[in-house]
Amino acid sequence: MSYGRTDPETNGPAADWLTPLQERNLVPAGVLAAFVVGSAARGWHNARSDFDIYVVTAVECAGSADRPGSPVPLDPPYVTSEVFYRQDRRWEVTYWLESQIGQVLSKISWEACEDGRITDETLTRTEELLLAHLETCCPILGEEWIDRTRERLVDSAFRSFVVVRSLGATDDAVEDALGQLEAGDLESATISARVAFGHAVDALLEAEGEYGSHLPKWRAHRFRAAAPAGFPFDRYWQIETMQGYDPADPRPWIKEVLTLCQDIAIRVAV
């Protein structure tokens, strides 16, 4: 599924995303795919949001090895980006090799899972965001390539990987909160309960295919998009905004949140 298939600056067709790149020679020959990612792809952006675009090629662009890039544990060990401004809006174009994306997908294959090669550190933040963005990107070029790659993502262990990680983080935070509660450290227990709730909700949303736990600022939007059965948004928002929390007696709120976290963990399908 794709979102936001128009350029919000011009209200024109998806092709209008391509024009600013072509004008700056940022679309290499033989490009396999290009797609908008992040808030703009989903219609969640605002006037201060950046526009982020991923471009996929089969071979490295000329001179890319000489440009500064972001390190990734892949071959080659970097991805390069180009930044420009248009109508006071920051655009960032990031270049991925098809082979790099294949390497990332291989890291979270079911074979890797069964062999015990997947750990919480298997994917870097950059790699995980790549996969999360693939699910909800706005295609500009190469829709068939994007569809094929999404199918590989769906067939991988990625969903299981992120759900299990979030559930583990939930358990850790719940244990922290319980220990702090027993010790009478109510301030720390409050913080740990909030952390536990965030991880529990992330697990619930990831089980629905709504990824992006590294970006909690979008959690409410992700919740609305996933609309998990049996857990209305108003109930989620009540806890997220700490409604009913009494600083003079926080124990009831903490216990309620921890119980809810455990209930969520039970219902999440790994």
CATH 1.20.120 placement within the chain: 159-267
Burial letters for 212-248: b for 16+ Cβ neighbours within 10 Å, e otherwise?
Answer: bbeeeebbbbbbebbebeebeeeebeebbebeebeee
pLDDT tens-digit map of 45-79 = 999 999 999 999 999 876 555 566 789 999 999 99
Give the class (CATH, top level) of 14-156: alpha beta
pTM of the prediction? 0.91
Residue 69, pLDDT score? 75
CATH 3.30.460.10 placement within the chain: 14-156
Nearest CA to 148 out of 107, 108, 105, 111 is that of: 105
Give the class (CATH, top level) of 159-267: mainly alpha
Portion of the chain with pLDDT greater than 70, in percent: 92
Residue 269, pLDDT score? 78
Taking the CA of residue 106 as centre, how many other CA atoms within 13 Å lie in the half-sphere pointing to its CB? 9
Residue 68, pLDDT score? 61
Residue 67, pLDDT score? 63
Q: Is the dihedral of CA 179, 185, 191, 194 positive or negative?
A: positive
Confidence of residue 10 (pLDDT cuts 50, 70, 90): very low
* Residue 146 three-state SS: helix
pLDDT tens-digit map of 102-113 = 999 999 999 999
Contact 159, 207 (CB under 8 A): yes
β-bridge mates for residue 82, sequence order: 93
